[in-house]
Amino acid sequence: MSQTQLRTRAHAAVDYEEQAKKLSLEPSTNGQDPDASGHAVEATFITPLDPVIETADGNRLPAIPIQEAHKINLLKNRSEGRPYHPVRPRGLTRFDRQNAGVGAVDRNELLKDDQESESSRLDEAIPVLHTHPLFPPLPLYGPPSLLRDLQCIFFRTTSAFLSTAFLAVVVLGAIFTSVPHLFKYIWLWLTFRDPAKQRPFYEEEQSRAAIRREKEKEWSSRKRKRTAPTNDETRECPNLPRNEYEPLEGGPDKLVCDIRYYARRVGLDAEQFKVQTEDGFILTLWHIYNPKEYKPKADSGREPDSPVVFSKCQENLQPHVPKQYRDGDRRYPVLLMHGLLQSAGAYCSNDDDSLAFFLCKSGYDVWLGNNRCGFVPEHSLLQYHDPRMWAWNMRQMGVMDLPALMSRVLEETGFEKLGLVCHSQGTTQTFVALAKEQRPDLGDKISVFCALAPAVYAGPLIGKMYFKFMRVISPAMFRIFFGIHAFIPLMMAMHRALPGKLYGAMGYRVFSFLFDWTDTRWDRGLRNRLFQFSPVYVSAESMRWWLGRECFARQKCILATREDWQTEDVEDEEREESRERAEARSSDRGKTAWYDEHVPPIALWVAGCDELVDGRRLLRRFERGREPHVKVVHSKVIEEYEHLDVIWALDSIEQVGKEVRQVLWQTMPEDARRICRRVSGVDDAVEEREQHSDDQLQ
């Protein structure tokens, strides 16, 4: 080795150490142990556009800008005398910013930089970053320092006052808009009319309220006698439904934020798992089960596992769940993902009409995923006050949270695929993750993707005044208003402090005002319970992605700029004029497709009165052949439904739940069907008709 090469490696080693200090957990000192906890070692690319930091103790730090990741890897390799070969975005044969989709890096540029002489400047060897306007780079927060701490204090102080003022305006607006409804309510009572009778499900609500009262009496009687109900007690409650699931909890509704409590009220139970993402966040995963046939896993087995997902080393291990079921009687796994500002409890709030409980009692193995932070923010290294804990948006939720949850479910159940059911934001992170420039291979592990109220295109609600305010202010001003940590954390403080009834009533009014939905089709007797599981902690960066001037609120789409999808609409309208010409050019449409051959079958349930998102536009995209690899196995527009009605309406099981159950069954892999129990309520005739229709199309 020449003296020049030795000097080059020595200089690279010094620069590498400086870069490692910049990306480590804590500020470094000259005598710091290089193997100390949180010391940055190198960048790991989860996708070619999503690097995270590997630390010396085997932990991970969250996503960093691509330039910084390439820089530490380049310096590390040069200091060790090895070449550096950057990864290439999947699905790209040449660099084309317009057609590349969600942010792409030109491999030729990176290789050219790597091939420069060893005497070239390092800053010239760092690749140029190309970002899609929908996914601007996240801010880089280095280890704690006096300057950074002062900046954090500044943002915390300004956001504490300004975001609280913003929330106060929203609450006042909700109260003001409720005044006409209050006067109408009073007038109906003064004229001897019951306001509730005007509700479309009045009789059903009364019937369910009576059943709940009978159940409360029965539970009180059982509690006094400390015995199971006798036949005489059962005859005293003729309105109670007869089923095999004996409640494990009962009495008056406690209005608690506890999935297990509500599962036990309907004769089921739940166990909680902790899951680690590839960037070190700790997620909560709930498993719903029948206590008469399944024994929960030991606490030690439900702790966070490795940040590596879909690990091959787990293939020879026998998971806990299959141990308790024989082949032929196993349950097929289904993962449910929640919407914005919500949690997994949104699927567990309607007693037996909760989608999670309905699918479990039908015969599926139901798992409920929560995104990062949730009710209790957790990370393997970071603490709540660290701004790096909150440097994430929709991209990280799709690319890292969803794979981590899927991996743990498949690891625990021993299946190769699962069914995925998502609502609102859950559909967003899935559509983002499955894009061919992200993690398209996730589609190989999903038997069907059921999208409820799919949030891909924005609805007219995005034009409301308070949303416009967030879109008008600059990114810097957004951070001054809402900080660089959690988004309006006062909401969580109110959630903990206020009584359940008061919080539920206020939560409904505020969210109804913000998102323009009503409880018309819900069971009003359970409305306060519905809001016990929201809101949750989300990052200010993620809300900026949704509502800021750069991303979704401006482009009105999650995977295309506004100009792109408007151009596509014009092209589609022109092509519809000549069907032959449209068929001749169908291959041209596929060039701008978001998905490749890995995309799983998709089923969609669109709320016809949804002002928040535009599901019809997504349906049109699929129908017009813009996504040649997408197979839509089911689609339905429920004209009278609003955004949350797909999971909370009194008739949501009839309109949505039973169809989800059927779609999950008919798309289940054959090898899984041979070892799984038959799901109750499915219709083989429907499946045969669907298969016959597919054969005819082919």
Residue 612 belongs to domain with CATH number:
3.40.50.1820
Whether residue 379 contacts residue 281, with contact meaning beta carbons closer than 8 Å, is answered with yes
Residue spans of alpha helices (H) in 286-354 = 320-323
Do 10 and 77 lie in one domain? The reply is yes
Boundary of a domain, candidates 110, 132, 154: 132
| Residue 579: pLDDT band with limits 50, 70, 90 | low
Span 97-112, average pLDDT = 40
Question: Is residue 576 one of the residues assigned to a domain?
Answer: no
Is 643 a catalytic site residue? yes
State whether 610 and 673 are in the same domain.
Answer: yes
Residues 6+ apart with CB under 8 A from 651: 201, 521
Helices and strands in the chain: count of H runs, count of E runs: 30, 11
- Final residue of a structural domain among 242, 269, 294: 242
Above 90 in pLDDT, residue 101?
A: no
Residue 424 among the catalytic residues: yes
**Residues 500, 379 within the same domain:** yes
Q: Is residue 162 part of a domain?
A: no
Q: Running DSSP on this structure, what letter comes out for residue 608?
A: T
Percent residues over pLDDT 90 in the chain: 59
Residue 564 forms part of a structural domain? no
Instruction: Round to the nearest angstrom and report the end-to-end CA distance of the chain.
Output: 63
Residue 565: inside a domain:
no
Query: Please, which pLDDT band fits residue 102 given cuts at 50, 70 and 90?
Result: very low
Question: Both 127 and 233 in a single domain?
Answer: no
For 383-403, what is the mean pLDDT? 95
Q: Are residues 82 and 118 in the same domain?
A: yes
Residue type, 35: D
Does the annotation count 542 as an active-site position? no
Give pTM, 2 decimals: 0.89
Query: What distance in Å separates the CA atoms of residue 97 and residue 99, rounded to the nearest whole number?
Result: 6
Amino acid at 105: V
Give the domain-ending residue among 77, 101, 132: 132
Give the mean pLDDT of 539-553.
92
Q: What is the pLDDT of residue 184?
A: 80
Give the confidence band of 185 by pLDDT, cuts at 50, 70, 90. confident
Q: 3-state SS of 500-553? A: HHHHHHHHHHHHHHHHCCCCCCCCHHHHHHHHHHCCCECEHHHHHHHHCCCCHH
Give residue 114's pLDDT: 39
Selected catalytic residue, list 15, 269, 351, 610: 610
Alpha-carbon torsion (637, 643, 646, 648), positive or negative: negative
Q: Which two tokens stand for residue 24?
A: 């480590």
Shared domain check, 365 and 223: no
Q: Which pLDDT score, from 0 to 100, does residue 477 have?
A: 92
Averaged over 26-48, what is the pLDDT?
77
Q: Check residue 98 and give its pLDDT.
A: 40
State whether 220 and 294 are in the same domain: no
Number of domains in the chain: 3
Give the Cα separation of 476 and 652 in Å (integer). Answer: 42
Is 580 inside any structural domain? Answer: no
Residues 638 and 668 in one domain: yes
Mean pLDDT of 659-671: 97
Average pLDDT of 485-511? 92
CA distance 341 to 15: 42
| Tokens standing for residue 350 | 């309607």
- Single-letter code of the amino acid located at 61: L
**How confident is the model over 383-402, as a mean pLDDT?**
95
- The C-alpha torsion from 643 through 645 and 647 to 648, rounded to 10°, is 130
The number of angstroms, rounded, from the C-alpha of 150 to the middle of its chain's C-alpha atoms is: 33
Q: Are residues 88 and 207 in the same domain?
A: no
- Quick one: average pLDDT of 433-449? 95
In a domain, 465, yes or no: yes
Sign of CA dihedral 560, 561, 564, 566: positive
pLDDT at 228 > cutoff 60: no
| pLDDT tier, 340 (very low <50, low <70, confident <90, very high otherwise) | very high
Reported as a pLDDT band with limits 50, 70 and 90, residue 694 is low
- φ and ψ at 150, to 5 degrees? -65, -40
Higher pLDDT, 442 or 112: 442
Strand runs (DSSP E) across 224-325, as ranges? 269-276, 282-289
pLDDT value for 187 = 81
| Structural domain contains residue 584 | no
Residue 249 in any domain: the answer is: no
Statement to judge: residues 122 and 69 lie in one domain: yes
> For the purposes of burial, counting CB atoms within 10 Å of the CB of 530, is it exposed (0-12), middle (13-18) or buried (19 or more)?
buried
Lowest mean pLDDT among 101-110, 178-187, 474-483: 101-110
- Residue 386: band (very low, low, confident or very high) from pLDDT cuts 50, 70, 90: very high
Catalytic residue among 132, 423, 485, 643: 643
Q: Give yes or no: residues 483 and 353 share one domain.
A: yes
Tokens of 640: 């009278």
Mean pLDDT of the chain: 85
Residue 222: domain span: 199-242
Which residue in the list 24, 343, 349, 424 is annotated as catalytic? Answer: 424
CB 641 within 8 A of CB 609: yes
Same domain, 83 and 223: no
* Range in 36-40, 513-517, 532-536 the model is least confident about: 36-40
pLDDT band at 122 (very low <50, low <70, confident <90, very high): very low
Q: Note whether 539 and 401 are within 8 A (CB).
A: no
* Confidence class for position 28, pLDDT limits 50, 70, 90: low
| Better-predicted residue by pLDDT, 220 or 112 | 220
Share of the chain above pLDDT 70, in %: 84
237: closest CA among 262, 252, 216? 216
